[in-house]
Amino acid sequence: MKKLLYPLAMCLLFGLCAYMFVGQAARVDDENQRASSDMMAQSLYRGALSCYACEGAYPDTLEYLCEKYGITVDESKYDVHYTIFASNIMPDITVVELHEQ
């Protein structure tokens, strides 16, 4: 009986450790994706501020911002909503991460 309990306990312990490792890896991946999306939004805001400082107006379009201020948006990974109200008011920039299916 003791010969059977030791391998069974080791298998259960290994399974529990593997389960905890996979769960932690998934949480880290989610946090990295969230941070990546936040960094993209910060980059766009900084570019818009640089444009305002240099040109006296916020960029009219996302394309102009990317072209003139060297920002690259991976369109297969992010959907960026860029809404401008007036040239002297900070545009509303929303970065939505696209999920692969």
- pLDDT digit string, tens, across residues 66-100: 999 989 888 888 899 999 999 899 999 999 888 75
Q: Predicted confidence band at 17 (pLDDT cuts at 50, 70, 90)?
A: low
Q: What is the mean pLDDT of the chain?
A: 82
Q: What is the pTM of this model?
A: 0.67
Long-range contacts of residues 49-54, Cβ cutoff 8 Å, at least 24 apart: 49/90, 52/90
